[in-house]
Copies of this chain bind each other. A is one copy, B any other.
């Protein structure tokens, strides 16, 4: 009953429940994981279990090579993507994946989300990247593992830092987001969905809307994240 992973499972459980409470998932189309770097394991939602009956005890514990360490249920079908990210980006603490409406629409449209305003700039200074669909060979191979590769490679190709840009769209699929812990990954998923809807409406109102100017991008990002940040307590 008691487990050395209880706190980690609880963190993962709460983040998954929050993902649902924020309206980012229908049915079980989403999953959040949380990592314990000292123990070298992460916790993730079991596959296909409805949020209404999910309990902290259902959460599955795995190492970064996808070996189940604790848990009787099958982990999320996207587990290998989470594992790959934890293995390659050793400074992230949580990962979230959703099929939220506007994020998915941009992923299906295969477009980066342009940085149109300060809501966006409060969180990142670039367009939100959309990774192009995977090659057929990779799809037929170790698909979810390769989705992890796709994410990491896209960041390398575009010269982006995963600590400054904590979100991505996978072309034709949907969003992944991460952060210092599972709660931050969920927060970033909600920010991404909000910014995605704002960009959709901005282009509806003005198809030639200009991007945010450099000075405003810098100002807003730095007041939240810079050395002299003055947002929050």
Contact = CB atoms under 8 A, between A and B. Distances in A.
Which of A117, A139, A140, A213 counts the most B-chain CB atoms under 10 A from its CB? Answer: A117
A145 interface: no
A172 B212 contact: yes
Interface string A76-93: 010000000000000000
A205 B109 contact: yes
A26 interface: yes
Contact of A173 (B73, B118, B139, B230): B118
A106 interface: yes
Contacts of A119: 29, 99, 104, 174
Interface of A: 26-27, 29, 46-49, 73-74, 77, 99, 101-102, 104-111, 116-119, 122, 133-134, 136, 139-140, 143, 172-174, 187, 190, 194, 197-206, 209-210, 212-213, 215-216, 219, 223, 230-233
